[in-house]
Structure 1
Amino acid sequence: MNDNSELKLNNGSRIGVIGGGPAGSFFSHFLLRQARLMDMDLHVDIYESRDFLSAGPKGCNMCAGVISESLVQALSIEGINLPTSVVQRGIDSYVMHSETETVTIRTPSEEMRIATVHRGSGPKGIRETRWKSFDRHLLEIAIETGANLVSRRVKGISLSDGKPLICAKEGEAQVYDLLVGATGINSPSLSLFENLGIGYKRPSTRKTSITELPLGLDAVSEKFGSSMHVFLLDLEGLDFAAFIPKGEFVTMCLIGDGVSRETVDSFLDHPSVKHLLPNARSAAAEACHCSPNISLGDAANPFGDRVVMIGDSGVSRLNKDGVGSAYRTAKAAAKTAIFEGISSDDFRKHYWPICRKISRDNRLGSLIFTTVNMMKGAQFSVRGSLRMCQKEQLKQGGQRRMSMVFWDMFTGSAPYREVFMRTLHPFFFSRLAWEVAMGFRFAGDGGSMVRRELWK
């Protein structure tokens, strides 16, 4: 057992960060910045074998690439700006599609815009690299702050006399005072941490489907503009589906417990999808595609003496804002390491509360998404919800309660607790009940009366 009085970072301490995605870059940047304020000289190595300057799978971290406005604002306050060379498009509205209706929800304020990015330098087959990799941008910020990039794959980690050792391909084992796991949920390196002896176990996951549709810059601008398209369709195994415009590509993202090739085909063949994008199936046939896992919860024992797991290898928000979770956990872990210590007790007292807060919020998120899935099975309830949204959008001023619920649920810009609390307002319940009743009343005519009302 280590003496906790010795488990502190000091001048000359060495930190090894496995993973150069957002979590690893955020941690390294915040740690070195805070160390500088404390007149502490630290050595930080970031191990990342992926080349974010490359297009296609070689440089991609397999993500839909949506950055919530709350994170954009938080990064701006930190002095981390996202230049136009990184942001493909600013999203100011959502277009929601049900089985029969379409409603546009606009941003609650001009300051609230979502950024869409490519995690690498773009999908395979890209003809010209016009935008910079989001992950590379953050990694360069960490390097500018003082971190060292080690572009080699980690093949082993262990503890020797209580200190972490990292063994990389074509290199000697390096001893560190602190080991940080920032690999992401899809990395094979997670098994190395599970075998480290600290009791770590990765979060449970489920599959997603991400496809980069090469539609061309003009077609994307004409069809999508600055709007994301979200689909509330009653398809088996599908919880969430969206089209996300990015430059000359549109990212198709499907999430659900049973997402398969058949799920993707059913989605592409749905009338609501074909009405928006008749050539979606042919575009998807030759497109860059991946089926990454996303985290469903939190890891068991994501820290130990001299070891801490951050980002979605530790805990991440359910379905949304994974980069935001990386930011929050990385900053909390860096602050703990600098100001409190690097023992298991230090991380439990000062880092784990942030993880626990995200985990508890996810329980409400699970309840919200379960409710939405139940609604999709009864389209009159979806119809009523969209009626309520549309009427709110037509009003100048006033409370847009349902619009804000959908906006924050799909963007990840607010905690699920805030979303849930909005639904408890008496006016929300009474108005929704009325609109659902009207949706049920006109369910038999295929929604024609509702459609006329939504578009009048």
Structure 2
Amino acid sequence: MQLLASEGINLPTEVVERGIDAYMLHMDVGSVRIRTPSEEKRIAGVFRGNGPRGSERALRVGFDRYLLDLAASSGAQVVRSLVTRVGWHEDRPEIEHGGGKRACYDLVALAAGVNSQLLQNGCDAAPGYSFPGTLTTFISEFHLGQAAIQASLGDAMHIFLLDLPRLEFAALIPKGDYVTLCVLGHDVDEKLVDAFLAAPEVKRCFPDSKVPELVCHCFPRLNVRPPAQPYADRLVWIGDCGVARLYKDGIGSAYRMAKAAARTAAFHGVSAQDFEAHYAPTCKAMNWDNTLARLVFMSTTAIQKLRPLRRGVLRMTATEQANREQFHHMSSVLWDVFTGSAPYQDVLVRSCHPGFIASLAWNLVAGNVAALAGKPYGNGS
């Protein structure tokens, strides 16, 4: 929320479903609550679209709709029509939409996302464009009501690092009367989702430890490998169809890349050479950060797979959270891994700090000795 505010974007109450002021990390060895660092870096829970199926949205505004209206209030002309094809007419890109209507533009920014058929079937303007590498995810909604959500989940996002085959990451996010479930992994399917929902660590997050019926669900794809060249003459790809941060803040990535593309177009030009000189460096910087992100997520995978390491991480985090005066090495790293609030390079550098390594080593020993002695940590499990 602070990052948006620094750009002059202040989210109104009708957009924010719930303010998130903490993360709850769940593992088989216990759970620990991680507060926002220095009471900053707060997170807003929002719905990107119109909300879950059957939800009442009369008094609410989706996040994407709010941003679109904000752009329109600044002078953008919004044409509410489905784009079916992007081609060329003479020397300019041509957009076809709404029953065969066509219009030419000096520059076209494609921000269609990787789940759009336009990129695969309707983009004739750049035959050399390579579709991004993708990963299938699972998104669903549960209806609990605000009172039940406050009692069971509170104002925290619940993160799960469980040793389940193919599971990379999972989270429960409270939003108004609903709870959003996000599951990332390899070849995510209903079998993996069922195994996750059957885990006792997950069941405990719901009233009476019973997982309710899904209101709606989908298996969208996520950008995990960018196209070789997300730009061409008079064309630029933004967001998930271009370069995006690995597993994180697609809207934030799109915003940063859009700013870089806009600077290029406004101050230099719209040719492929202009984008190569002034837009590509931002793409390469984000791609490099994503390379480092893979190292970071290798570490989280190790935590999932190694119980002794999970005990050390749990003890180190719980000790930091119990002492506000202590420097929060592990807590700050975990917060930024979960939220994407900091570049992955910064996360990796902090993970290599001597203080981080020394504290983790000590807590690995102490946590596992305590476990052998039968002493609980975290939530006591």
Instruction: Identify the TM-score tier after normalising by the shorter chain.
Output: over 0.9
Does structure 1 retain, via aligned residues, the 8 Å contact 2:48–2:64?
yes
Matched, 1:140 2:69: yes
Distance in 1, matches of 2:78 and 2:117, equals 20
Deviation at 1:170, TM superposition (A): 1.7
Q: Flag the 1:153–1:107 CA change in 2: closer, same or farther, 3 A.
A: same
Q: Please point out which of 394, 408, 425 is paired with 2:322.
A: 394
AA aligned opposite 2:14: S
Match of 1:159 among 88, 103, 118: 88
Deviation at 1:454, TM superposition (A): 5.8
Residue 238 (structure 2) pairs with residue 310 (structure 1): yes
> Superposed, which structure 2 residues align to 1:35-434 within 5 Å?
72-127=1-56, 129-192=58-121, 195-197=124-126, 199-277=128-206, 282-283=211-212, 285-434=213-362
State the secondary structure of the residue aligned to 2:285.
helix
Q: Which amino acid is 1:365 matched to?
A: A
SS in 2 for 1:239: strand
CA offset at residue 321 of structure 1?
Answer: 1.2
Distance of aligned partners of 1:380 and 1:129 in 2 relative to their CA distance in 1, 3 Å threshold: farther
CA contact (8 A) 1:213 1:249 kept: yes
Q: One-letter code of the match for 1:146? A: G
Q: In structure 1, the residue corresponding to 2:39 is in which secondary structure?
A: coil
Distance in 1, Cα, partners of 2:282 & 2:42 = 25
Measured after TM superposition, the shift of residue 150 of structure 1 is 1.6
Letter in 1 for 2:23: Y
Counterpart for residue 12 of structure 1: none
Q: CA deviation at 1:365?
A: 0.8
**Segments of 4+ in structure 1 off by > 6 A?**
none
Give the Cα separation in 2 of the matches to 1:240 and 1:286: 19
Q: Once the 2 structures are TM-superposed, how far is the Cα of residue 295 of structure 1 from its aligned partner?
A: 0.7
1:152 Cα offset (Å): 1.6
3-state SS in 2 of match to 1:331: helix
Give me the whole-angstrom Cα distance separating, in 2, the residues matched to 1:130 and 1:390.
40
Give the whole-Å Cα distance in 1 for the aligned partners of 2:211 and 2:322: 37
CA shift digits 1:274-326 (9 cap, x unpaired)? 1222567652x341111100110211211111111111110111111111101
- Whose relative contact order is higher, 1 or 2, with alpha carbons under 8 Å and at least 6 apart? 1
Q: How many residue pairs get matched? A: 381
Structure 2 residue 331 is matched with structure 1 residue 441:
no
Cα drift, residue 195 of structure 1 = 3.8
The one-letter amino acid paired with 2:13 is T
Q: C-alpha separation between the residues in 1 aligned to 2:66 and 2:330?
A: 36
Determine if contact 2:87/2:123 at 8 Å carries over to the other structure.
Answer: no
Contact 2:140 2:214 (C-alpha < 8 Å) held by counterparts: no
Structure 1 residue runs without a partner (length 5+): 1-71
Q: Distance in 2 between matches of 1:352 and 1:198?
A: 19
SS in 2 for 1:287: strand
Q: What is the identity percentage for the equivalent residue pairs of Structure 1 and Structure 2?
A: 44
1:45 aligned partner: none
| Aligned equivalents of 1:359, 1:176: Cα separation in 2 | 29
TM-score by length of 2: 0.95
CA contact (8 A) 1:193 1:200 kept: no
Report the alpha carbon displacement of residue 121 of structure 1 after superposing the two structures with TM.
2.1
Question: Could you tell me how far apart the structure 1 residues matched to 2:364 and 2:128 are?
Answer: 49
The one-letter amino acid of 2:299's match is T
- Which amino acid in structure 1 is aligned with residue 94 of structure 2? L
SS at match of 2:331: helix
Distance 1:88 1:221 in 2: 13
Q: Which runs of 5+ in 2 are unaligned?
A: none
In the alignment, the residues of structure 2 paired with residue 439 and residue 374 of structure 1 have an alpha-carbon distance, to the nearest angstrom, of 17
Residue 172 of structure 1: how far off its partner (Å): 2.5
> Does the 8 A contact of 2:148 with 2:207 survive in 1?
no
Q: Deviations over 1:75-114 (max 9, x none)?
A: 2233221111101111110011101301000001223200
How many angstroms apart in 1 are the aligned matches of 2:122 and 2:288?
A: 24
Tell me the TM-score normalized by structure 1. Answer: 0.80
- Contact kept, 8 Å, 2:84 with 2:122, in 1: the verdict is no
Deviation at 1:128, TM superposition (A): 5.2
Q: Is the 8 A contact 1:209 1:289 kept in 2?
A: yes
Distance 1:128 1:186, change over 3 A: closer
Could you tell which deviates more after superposition, 418-427 or 162-171? 162-171
